[in-house]
Amino acid sequence: MALALSAAGCKVSGPLARGEDLSKAAEGADVLVLAVRDSEVGAVAAAIEPSEGCVVAHLSGSLGLDVLHPHPRRASIHPLAPLPSREVGARRLASGIYFAVEGDPAILALVELLHGRVLEVDPADRVGYHAAACIASNHLVALMGQVERVAKSAGLELEPFLRLAFYSLEDVASLGPAGALTGPASRGDLTTIESHRARIGKTEQPAYDALATEAMRLASGGDLLPAGEGIGQPAELQVIQEARTFSDVLEKARSQGLAIGLVPTMGALHEGHRSLIERSATECDLTAVTIFVNPLQFEDPSDLACYPRTLDEDLEVARKAGAEIVFVPPVEEMYPGWPAPVDTRVHVSSMSDVLEGSSRPGHLDGVATVVTKLFSLAGRCRAYFGEKDYQQLAMVRRMVADLSLPVEVVGCPTVREENGLALSSRNVRLSPQERVRALALRRALLAGRAAVLGGERNPAAVRALMAAVLDAEEGVERDYAEVVDAASLTTPEVLAGELRLLVAARVGPVRLIDNESVHAPALAVTAFAGQGAGRLSTASDEGTGQVARLLASAGL
């Protein structure tokens, strides 16, 4: 400022340095400019003896004039230009910029001297003025910081984007912000915006989301986005208890062209459930989570009574994961006349009585019945199920195919703790020691998998191996350890193709299940005819008995 003013013909004394005696600084001066940090203005002003003839002015955008007490003549003069160095600053100050001015009119002489333009700010609106100034300078710079990072992640320099930014500002100057707007946000092109969000990653998303939202509002005058909603922000959650309303709301959304995602749960939502909801929210336009502790699938009343119920937290998890609707029906809403027996049940013959079905009679019929009802209420949709309950997933797929239900079933990978324990709502009932014991389930599955990958094709051998791992762990009461065909859940005579290893065991008060996939490549078989017929060789060098079984199963 001192440089600019003296270049403009002003007699400038100073600047005074930090630590100098300031008491007489105002004496004999027409204007005393306090070019110090906002936080220091008050202390510096107080250190100067007031003088009738001198206007004491600060350069702050945010401070009013009270801070200049006790000086009788006060003013503020805030230049609307960044001043990164003495020379550049001096040049800019004299280049016709705006100065926000308040207080003693004598200060206007300074602005005139610098060929500046006066911006009169009402003291009552000072904060608003300063907010706008910060956005136009500091935030714009921060935004370019994001441009630099994102460009760099794509192997590009800042320079080309700087030019783009210059031209954009030029357009804002001539056309106004709304007129200058271009790009996907201005067109409401949410697909492109989503692809950007996915590419730039979570740390860059908040700034991107805020400005994409702003761009959409600017382009549409608010029409493209309903009030209170924005890019990347979870919409308001609609909690529905009545089956009819649930059905109607989804029907209406579908008639508007929205793709519906359904995530059936029993609540006590954890990361596993969250992964399902997030996947649905990414793949569908509207995600509905159902929370219903279905009494039909609990054969043990105490298990039903102990099942964790955490509705408030669940609603928060669902909302944050991107759900728009949560359906929480009371039991009478799902089973009219409850506790009268439910007359009509769904039974998937080939799948409901094995594995879980044989250990928990009626359980899978209860699941099939409630899922059919939920599908019936939801209508055409994609439904997300976890592989954690693999038999349930396979059964639902079969049921959908057999009953021609208008549902696309999507299986999602099991979410585990770092140590491998599959997340389950029931895990909260395990003691720390039981949580460690529960890891035997995972170990058993991995041992079975390793055996199959190592060439074992005898299901009994794989079963026995997994059972041995479970039985070796104290406090783990094995229910079953099985290896089955992944689609049909039947046990093949010789293991081949896509298989599923499944285990169930009681650990303390809780019955746990887990499973793992494994692919058993078909054995390469060469049979030599003629002399020496019967000599068989296999790629994995297993016994001829096994090969013979393979040939028999292939009808050879």
Residues carrying an active site annotation? 273
Q: How far apart are CA 287 and CA 284, in angstroms?
A: 7
The answer to whether residue 67 forms part of the interface with ligand AMP (CB under 6 A) is no
Closest listed residue to residue 4, CA positions, set 79, 111, 89? 89
Q: Which is nearer to ligand AMP, 68 or 368 (CB)?
A: 368
Q: How far apart are CA 392 and CA 412, in angstroms?
A: 12
The answer to whether residue 389 forms part of the interface with ligand AMP (CB under 6 A) is yes
The answer to whether residue 388 forms part of the interface with ligand AMP (CB under 6 A) is yes
* Touching ligand AMP, residues 93-132 (CB under 6 A): none
* Touching ligand AMP, residues 468-507 (CB under 6 A): none
The DSSP result for 259-319, as a single string, is PEEEEEE-S---HHHHHHHHHHHHHSSEEEEEE---GGG-SSHHHHHHS---HHHHHHHHH
Stretch that binds ligand AMP, among 4-12, 63-71, 248-256, 383-391 (CB under 6 A): 383-391
Exposure b/e, 83-116, CB count within 10 A at least 16 = b: beeeeebbebbbeebebbbbbbeebeebbeebeb
Supply 432's token pair: 């720390």
Task: Report the nearest approach of ligand AMP to the CB of residue 225 (Å).
Answer: 31
Q: Which is nearer to ligand AMP, 54 or 276 (CB)?
A: 276
| Cβ partners under 8 Å of residue 131, min gap 6 | none
Side chain identity, residue 105: P
Residue 29's SS3 state is coil
**Site size for ligand AMP, by CB under 6 A?**
17
Q: Which is nearer to ligand AMP, 253 or 371 (CB)?
A: 371
The answer to whether residue 366 forms part of the interface with ligand AMP (CB under 6 A) is no
Integer CA distances (angstroms), 307 to 107, 205, 300, 427, 477, in order: 74, 37, 11, 11, 21
Q: Which is nearer to ligand AMP, 273 or 478 (CB)?
A: 273
* Touching ligand AMP, residues 249-278 (CB under 6 A): 265-266, 272-273, 275-276
Task: Report the nearest approach of ligand AMP to the CB of residue 382 (Å).
Answer: 13
Q: How far apart are CA 246 and CA 458, in angstroms?
A: 49
Q: Which is nearer to ligand AMP, 496 or 513 (CB)?
A: 513
Q: Which is nearer to ligand AMP, 59 or 422 (CB)?
A: 422
Stretch that binds ligand AMP, among 76-84, 385-393, 449-457, 518-526 (CB under 6 A): 385-393
HEC string for 75-139: EEEEECCCCCCHHHHHHHHCCCCEEEEEECHHHHHHHHHCCCEEEECCHHHHHHHHHHHHHHHHH
Binding mask 397-426 for ligand AMP (x = CB under 6 A): ---------------x-xx------xxxx-
The answer to whether residue 513 forms part of the interface with ligand AMP (CB under 6 A) is no
Task: Report the nearest approach of ligand AMP to the CB of residue 423 (Å).
Answer: 4
Q: Which is nearer to ligand AMP, 322 or 386 (CB)?
A: 386
Stretch that binds ligand AMP, among 7-15, 317-325, 382-390, 437-445 (CB under 6 A): 382-390
Asked if 119 contacts 100 with a C-beta cutoff of 8 angstroms, the reply is: yes
CA atoms within 13 A on the CB side of 80: 20
The one among 61, 261, 357, 386 contacting ligand AMP by CB under 6 A: 386
Q: How far apart are CA 62 and CA 58, in angstroms?
A: 10
Task: Report the nearest approach of ligand AMP to the CB of residue 420 (Å).
Answer: 11
Task: Report the nearest approach of ligand AMP to the CB of residue 427 (Å).
Answer: 9
List of residues contacting ligand AMP (CB under 6 A): 265-266, 272-273, 275-276, 385-386, 388-389, 412, 414-415, 422-425
